[in-house]
Amino acid sequence: MKRSTSKVLFFLKRDKQKSNGMIPLFCRITVDGQETRFSMKCDVNPKHWDVKMGKASGRTAEAGKINVLIDSTKATIHKVYHDIQEREHYVTAEKVKNVFLGIEQKQQTLLELFDYHNRERKLQVGVNLCKKTYDRYCAVRRHIAGFLVYKYNLSDIPVKEINKIFISDFETYLYAQHDYSQNTAVTLLKKLRHVIELALNKEWIFKNPFKDYKLQWQKTDRGYLTQEEIDLLTDFDFEEKSLEQARDIFTFCAFTGLAYTDVKHLSASNIQSSFDGKMWIRGRRKKTDTEYNIPLLNTPKLILEKYADTKKTDLVLPVCNLT
């Protein structure tokens, strides 16, 4: 890691010379070429100032007093600089000055960060973000709030205090208190990681606590339906129309390979005829925005024909909203 460079210099601010000839003493802090300055709250006779050394000259009691102030200030500033470097791995001249002067900097908190992120995300729903993804971010925010009370009895926590132990404890909390599977917990933790990366981009923190923290998917066997089971499903006579429609949508997904959300948004314009006269389903997947071209087989074609006279919009199938 590249360390920053710093310099502390004391000078007389000659454009502020007072009527008695005395000039205010200032301190300048420079870190990586960026500087800030502040008043030392004392005045110096310019005749007794060594510009090259940045100190008062002579052996008077006043010169000794000023030089003691300069030396102690420089030592404290260097300590503040190294403390920030070790703690945050990122130092600015303004940070050093504020800590030295005791100027309190507002600590950005984790839930404030989530609220900011989720407000921005909400504006993207329906544009370049699906509502399900937005809802997951909201769920992670709720879980974090519950975890803070459960683990620390806190209503919020500074983002700078998030570390690997916090992440590990939160992951355990998701398993123990919500009985989530490993893959569900990983999905939620990835949402938290994305929000933490926002804090990095906004320079609220300068070290990613997720660095080297492994989030591993667990391989699962989703199983599959046999042809016999599919035939049994498609031939079954449901008494409730809603169940029949759900069966038809599931069958359509199974025979086309389309996701539920893609079928939900399928319109007449997606059903197209090719140069050879055969019908195809063409469009872009909602989740990945990748193009798909799928031949329209007989089973999904019959399903489309079944609902052709019942549709009230351009959408070709009666897909219900999942809640």
| Predicted confidence (pLDDT) per residue in 153-173, tens digit | 999 998 988 999 999 999 999
**Which DSSP letter does residue 18 get?**
-
> In the Cβ-directed half-sphere of 21, how many Cα atoms lie within 13 Å?
5
> What is the band of 224 on the pLDDT scale with cuts at 50, 70, 90?
confident
> What is the band of 1 on the pLDDT scale with cuts at 50, 70, 90?
very low
Length in residues, the chain: 323
More confident residue, 227 or 144: 144
Give residue-wise pLDDT tens across range 226-255: 888 888 888 888 888 888 888 999 999 989
Average pLDDT, the chain: 89
Out of 60-74, 76-90, 127-141, 224-238, the most confident range is 60-74
Domains and CATH numbers, the chain: 6-101 (no CATH), 110-201 (1.10.150), 227-306 (no CATH)
More confident residue, 218 or 96: 96
Distance from chain centroid for Cα 70:
43
Distance from chain centroid for Cα 199:
6
Q: Report the distance separating Cα 81 and Cα 27, nearest Å.
A: 15
Q: What pLDDT is stored for residue 186 in this prediction?
A: 94
Q: Report the distance separating Cα 310 and Cα 197, nearest Å.
A: 48
Given a cut of 70, whether residue 128 has pLDDT beyond it is yes
Q: What percentage of the chain exceeds 70 in pLDDT?
A: 96
